[in-house]
Amino acid sequence: MITPEDLIALVRNYNPKTNADKIAEAFAYGEEMHHGQFRHSGERYFSHPVAVAALLTEQRLDDATIITALLHDTIEDTKASYEEVAARFGDEVAELVDGVTKLTNLQLSSRETKQAENFRKLFMAMSKDLRVILVKLADRLHNMRTIKAMRPEKQAQKARETMDIYAPLAGRMGMQWMREELEDLAFKVLNPEGRQSIIRRFVTLQRETGDVIHRITGDMRTELDKAGIEAEVFGRAKKPYSIWRKMQAKDQGFSRLSDIYGFRVITQCEEDSYRALGCIHQRWRAVPGRFKDYISQPKSNGYRSIHTTVSGRDGKRVEVQIRTRQMHDVAETGVAAHWSYRDGVRSQNPFAVDPAKWIASLTEQFDAEEDHDEFLEAVKLEMYSDQVFCFTPKGDVTKLPKGATPIDFAYAIHTRIGHACVGAKIDGIRVPLWTRIRNGQSVEVITAEGQSPQVSWLEIATTGKARTAIRRALREADRARFVKLGRELARSAFEHVERKATDKALETAARALRIDTVNELLAQLGAAEITTHDVVQAVYPELTLQEGEVVSPRRAVIGLEAGQSFERAPCCQPLPGERIIGITYRGRGVVVHAADCDRLVSFESQPERWMDVHWHSGTHAAAYGVSLELTIGNDAGVLGRICTLIGEKKANISNLEFSDRKPDFYRLMINVELRDVEQLHSLMLTLEAESDVAEVARFREKPETRQISG
């Protein structure tokens, strides 16, 4: 544990005017209050508050925040009181300590409390003084760094809470470095096998290519020096979780990712940033579609930087970020830039924005939302979102989260435009409403009188604003339809357990779920606000799936009509865990497609055939075939090792067919039977980590090209 003198020296590095006596007093008081207390690791407990305070000095925070870190557990875990802390250290520190204590007591992952309501309280606490959340984030970071001393079940709980709440919150506050470390520490607990496979792949890559970072950094410095641009250049490998997330999002293997390495160029002024961009693009080939200018269009948390991806040495793609020193300070510290000191005075950074405005706008936006779970969903969507910038036909810029669709764009313009949307054009070309908008595109919304929101839009929309508006409109305008749909869903669900959805059974379910009337129960069921599992379990808990019970394939899809059967579309081979759309066929039942299947475009003009269906939320049997395309080395024993790896992942090989044989490699198609999409991703990652596997991809059929006569 560091000494009070060491801590004061850390503060004096950026704030020579610090009140050293008051920090020393807080150190002594905290040490006295925590005397005799120990952590799970056996260390003295006070070592934890001291470590939290030291973390906050890295962000150059004020004395009050450092003292709060030293005392943040005293009111909760010792005989210290609010009044005593206020008398010794002032009302400001006492309020901050009390705020951190309240955050700690929220128990955001507790099953006994409404997580959404706790989120509301968290935002309220943050809005009073943002330094509260800075201390709490540093507290969580140190706890995650030392999590090994906890019981395994406690580790998993803390890791999930960190991944769901604290990591995205840190990112939204602009503290990207903290978000990345929190995510990676949680990833290490939740999926150690996946993380190790990424690390092994990195080691193999470095052995094959050498020190790529050192070489490319040197090349960039040379080019910038030639152009007379004074700048610093840094390179790094991405965190394992960051790579894992990109692999999941893009459904690509490790070897196909373009941004495993990242480089930063820190310039003296904004003009030099653009000169550096030109210099890099002259030396290396820019990758189309991978350029973002967050200097001219900053993110809402104040982040400014130029992002580009170029083909570097040996054809390797690398991501480059270019920004000024002041922009870099905001990018590294985020909200902490408001409280940071330099040379004894509060630093004035022109690029720092007030995150309190984001909290206020977010709370206001969803304050009227009646359903707390919808509030929670919307908050998480807001926190996880990155941004794209698109244009209206008049040239006005609209900010949307990454992955947004024309539906989100329409509601961003005005709720009335969203409700009346019937189609969209992107860059002048008619596109389906589920199309993902990319940076720089021009979007035009096509509207029609009499149009109203569709249930399927909830699967298409990604922004909290759009989803909230759609749900509200559906509740108000389509209550009768929801009641009818809910009755059908209830009948089908009760038939699954060989019972009837009688009025008496539904009345019993409504009472058990504390819903006023049967019609309200059916309306909520039809609007997907409650699940059929909830309703059936309320009446017949002994007949619903028990923990550990496997979902039968015939019961795997929810939302089918009575007597309807389903089959998986061979073109996209959807798996449990993926978003799905049902297409009806006469005499064939329902064919289930993945929501992103290219073949759905051919059904766009037949909306009456679309069905809103989803997979059962339970554990599925390993009965769903998926085709994988592999390219492997032509060496003895390689195929055997591949088959062994597949078996170790609890997947069954149903067919194996070679498509190409060359002296140095084989191409083959392997059909495997899997439980869900998570097992697929885990299997593909394991195969990618095998050094003799050059490429592995999920097979998807492409729609046939059709000639359209004019």
> Nearest CA to 294 among 488, 500, 440, 96?
440
> Nearest CA to 412 among 474, 472, 473, 468?
468
pLDDT at 444: 92
Domains of the chain with CATH codes: 4-190 (1.10.3210.10), 194-346 (3.30.460.10), 385-477 (3.10.20.30), 545-619 (no CATH), 622-698 (3.30.70.260)
Amino acid at 170: A
The answer to whether the CB of 68 falls within 8 A of the CB of 53 is no
- Percent of residues, the chain, with pLDDT higher than 90: 27
The pLDDT of residue 139 is above 70: yes
pLDDT at 26: 94
pLDDT at 707: 36
- pTM for this model (two decimals): 0.56
pLDDT at 110: 46
Amino acid at 487: R
Q: Can you tell me the distance from the alpha carbon of 699 to that of 312, in angstroms, rounded to the nearest whole number?
A: 29
Nearest 5°: the CA angle 339, 345, 348 is 60
Q: Can you tell me the distance from the alpha carbon of 653 to that of 647, in angstroms, rounded to the nearest whole number?
A: 8
> No. of H helices and E strands in the chain?
29, 25
The pLDDT of residue 533 is above 50: yes
pLDDT band at 368 (very low <50, low <70, confident <90, very high): very low
* pLDDT greater at residue 239 or residue 341: 239
pLDDT at 680: 93
Q: Say if residue 647 is exposed, middle or buried (CB neighbours under 10 Å; 0-12, 13-18, 19+).
A: exposed
Strand stretches in 427-506, DSSP E: 429-431, 443-447
> Nearest CA to 187 among 252, 239, 261, 251?
239
pLDDT at 242: 81
The answer to whether the CB of 355 falls within 8 A of the CB of 405 is no
Which of 25, 58, 76, 488 is the catalytic position? Answer: 76
pLDDT in tens, 293-302: 888 888 766 7
Least confident of 48-57, 246-255, 499-508, 611-620: 246-255
Q: Say if residue 5 is exposed, middle or buried (CB neighbours under 10 Å; 0-12, 13-18, 19+).
A: exposed
Which of 25, 43, 77, 534 is the catalytic position? Answer: 77
Q: How many residues does the chain have?
A: 710
pLDDT at 161: 84
The pLDDT of residue 710 is above 60: no
pLDDT at 322: 96
Q: Is 657 a catalytic residue?
A: no
Question: Which structure tokens are listed for 89?
Answer: 């250290």
pLDDT at 705: 40
Q: Can you tell me the distance from the alpha carbon of 70 to that of 302, in angstroms, rounded to the nearest whole number?
A: 29
Amino acid at 268: Q
Least confident of 79-93, 311-325, 366-380, 530-544: 366-380
Q: Is 5 a catalytic residue?
A: no
Complete DSSP assignment for 611-626: E--EE-SSEEPS-EEE
The pLDDT of residue 113 is above 90: no
- Cα dist. 362→119, 129, 417 in Å? 12, 16, 21
Q: Mean pLDDT, the chain, as a whole number?
A: 82
Q: In what order do the strands lie in the sheet with 580-585?
A: 566-568, 589-594, 580-585, 610-611
Taking the CA atoms of residue 436, residue 440, residue 446 and residue 451 in that order, the dihedral angle to the nearest 10 degrees is 40
pLDDT at 622: 85
SS3 for 112-157 is CCCHHHHHHHHHHHHHHCCHHHHHHHHHHHHHHHCHHHCCHHHHHH
pLDDT in tens, 688-708: 888 888 899 998 886 654 333
The pLDDT of residue 240 is above 50: yes
* Distance, first Cα to last Cα, the chain: 79
pLDDT band at 349 (very low <50, low <70, confident <90, very high): low
pLDDT at 224: 94
Least confident of 77-86, 92-101, 195-204, 440-449: 195-204
